[in-house]
Amino acid sequence: IYKSIAANDNPIASEQPVTLQANEDNSESGQVPVATDVDVSNGDGYENIETEVNEFGYELNEELGLICINNSPCGNLEWDESNDGSYVFDPGEDFHYLAVGESAEVSFYYTASDIPPGGPVGVSSLQLVTITIEGREDPTTIFPDSYGFDTPIYENGGLYTLNLPTPEDLDLTNEFQYN
């Protein structure tokens, strides 16, 4: 006689890596995908539940934290304390160097857990979330406030030679030309 003993299967956080789009100027709220679990019983006597996934069992991998892929510092990630899988990513001022058409990425890992009938809680493998931050046009400052003219300039007046200051722009790859 053989006796079958059921084992608690770990949930699956997501079937595929999660990718999101953001821009350098705005915070983005997000929610990780709902995890799945093949277990259909949590041992409470009702043998046909939809899932054993704990809706408050999503945890940010604090050890790895927010990973800067090609930028440092790389904004701020605020994980909801209820562990429901929701978060807010704030790029802050960290991506203003990006020009239009340029991007940078940040990533973080999370896990999902289940509510087993007894014994150890099942925890998913680490799941990757990658946020791609797109550059936006930042304003260019041609004449900083401290720059001024001591001599009035008049239409049809004489020719003046000016040493113009270098324009200031947060987008590091912009080029400037005077005509």
Checking if the pLDDT of 66 tops 60, the result is yes
pLDDT for residue 163: 66
Checking if the pLDDT of 35 tops 60, the result is yes
- List C-alpha distances in Å: 15 to 32, 53, 55, 153: 12, 15, 17, 68
Reported as a pLDDT band with limits 50, 70 and 90, residue 151 is low
pLDDT digits (tens, 9 = 90+) for 78-96: 999 999 999 999 999 999 8
pLDDT for residue 142: 58
Mean pLDDT of all residues in 138-154? 57
